[in-house]
Amino acid sequence: MRVLSVTAAILLSFLISPELAAQVRTLTMDDAISIAVENNRDLEVSRLEMDKADYQVREAVGTALPNISASGTYSRMLKKPVFFLPKKFMDPDAGDGVVPIEVGSDNSYNFGFEATQILFNAAVFTGVGTAKIYQDASRYLYDDTYNKTVTNVKKAFQGVLLAREVLSLMKASLKNAEDNLHNVDVMFKQGIVSEYDFIRAQVQTDNIRPRVIEAERNVVLATNGLKLLLSLPPGQEIDVQGKLEFVPAEDVMLTQAEELAVEKNAGLKALEQQSRVNEKIATIYRSESLPTLAAFGNYSWQAQNDALSKISSNDFIATSQVGLSLSINLFNGLQTNARVNQAEIDYRKSREQFSAARDGMITNAQNIRYRLDEAQRRIESQTRTVEQAEKGYKIATTRYQTGSGTQLEVNDADLALLQARVNRVQAVYDYTLAKADLEQLLSVHHP
């Protein structure tokens, strides 16, 4: 019975393992960005805003095109209208009084077409240009959202790499401590070292284990954060591919960060376009006091009869006319003036917002450059420190094994090595984040 159960378990493992393996999704940085772009709801909202702007341009253009309509009416006279004539008009010998005379027929028909074309209306033509400016603004907003999405994914992805790197360092430190504990245990049993050294080595090992557990938890938390950002289901297992590496930013990005931020930032361009929209809206309101000139024309068929069944095409009479209409707003209770003032205030507000955003961009670019420089100097310093710490650890372990060193020296050297490695990895991570922020500021990513 036991043999059968073991065999069944083996067969079950062969059946389940491929399915479980298929559930693990391997992701590179580019994969993660593609998934985020596809699933990000903010980007979808920006896409819809672009579609809306496109339709607004069509609507604005449509106001300058001819407007053609068709209409038709049929009416049944329940009580015909009358007009009155003096009785003497009908009969010279009749006395005073009037006689009602019915007019019209029982049935009347009217069908026709009407067309109008705006010849001059400042609001219409300004509105077309305004809609196109808003269309450009919506595209800049989409680019800005796209850059933010890519930057957030990069940061989350690098956060997973950092957590894994720290976990690897913690495990390496734990292995050093365990190897040292093993050597001390052997030497203690041989009477070469004291029980105090054995206890110190054991305590050192036990102190590192909680840090390994914490590092494992940080990997899980960072991975879950990335999955949440990518809108992946919580049960989806992912395997992040890559390594936390120091890749210097381009020199032109560093030396011209302030100028490039003002020139290329999509969010700043969107604010500038919105400011132009507000300016155009004020112009549209001003044009309400200007005349509107339009051409019109219509063509219609009319007929009347008393017997609905006897209607024929010969009964219809065609009429047509063309002309021009001119309208001027002379006074509307100062509403136009109030709308113009409101629009001008909105324009000034948008210019202030643009100026504040531009100054913020320049300051942010300066701060990012400082962060990059500071992180790079830390990387260079910690690289040398790691090399020295590795040498120090080798010397400390060699001295202890030859009896000229102490267990305290080994512990201190191991902690110094771990701290140096963690500091370097943290510096690389900080540089990577600052570089991602600079790329977002310069809007280097494009859909």
Cβ count within 10 A of residue 56: 17
| 68 phi, psi to nearest 5 deg | -115, 130
pLDDT reported for residue 401: 82
- How many other C-beta atoms can be found within 10 angstroms of the C-beta atom of residue 283? 17
DSSP string over 256-320: THHHHHHHH-HHHHHHHHHHHHHHHHHHHHHGGGS-EEEEEEEEEEEEEES-GGG--GGG-EEEE
Looking at residue 193, the DSSP 8-state letter turns out to be S
Q: Quick one: which of 201, 221, 211, 199 has its CA closest to 172? A: 211
Pairing of β 292-305 and β 317-327: antiparallel
**Predicted TM-score (pTM) of this structure:** 0.78
Residues 6+ apart with CB under 8 A from 303: 108, 109, 311, 315, 316, 317
Cα–Cα dist 447/445, whole Å: 7
Q: What is residue 103's predicted lDDT score, i.e. its pLDDT?
A: 82
Residue ranges and CATH numbers for the domains of the chain are 40-68+122-292+335-441 (1.20.1600.10)
Residue 19: the pLDDT is 44
Q: Coil, strand or helix: which one is 352? A: helix
Contacts of 281 (CB under 8 A, 6+ apart): 130, 343, 346, 347
DSSP letters of 353-408? Answer: HHHHHHHHHHHHHHHHHHHHHHHHHHHHHHHHHHHHHHHHHHHHHHHHHTTSS-HH
pLDDT score for 68: 93
For 220, residues 6+ apart whose C-beta sits below 8 A from its C-beta are none
- Work out the burial of residue 66: count CB atoms within 10 Å of its CB; fewer than 13 is exposed, 13-18 middle, 19 or more buried: exposed
CB-based contacts of 73-80 (< 8 A; 24+ apart in sequence): 73/108, 73/109, 73/110, 73/111, 74/107, 74/108, 74/109, 74/110, 75/107, 75/108, 76/106, 76/107, 77/104, 77/105, 77/106, 77/107, 77/108, 80/104, 80/106
Of 383, 409, 381, nearest to 394 by C-alpha is 409
Q: Can you tell me whether residue 74 is helix, strand or coil?
A: strand
Closest CA to 270 of 175, 148, 382, 101: 148
Amino acid at residue number 309: S
DSSP state, residue 242: -
CA–CA gap between residue 322 and residue 301 (Å, rounded):
15
The CA distance from 242 to 158, in Å, is 9
Measured CA to CA, the distance from residue 410 to residue 204 in angstroms comes to 10
Half-sphere CA count of 239, side-chain side, radius 13 A: 6
Per-residue model confidence (pLDDT) at position 387: 95
Give the pLDDT means over successive 10-residue stretches in the chain (447 positions): 42 44 81 92 90 89 89 89 79 76 85 92 85 92 94 95 94 90 88 87 91 95 94 90 91 89 93 91 85 92 82 84 89 83 92 94 94 95 94 90 83 90 95 95 89
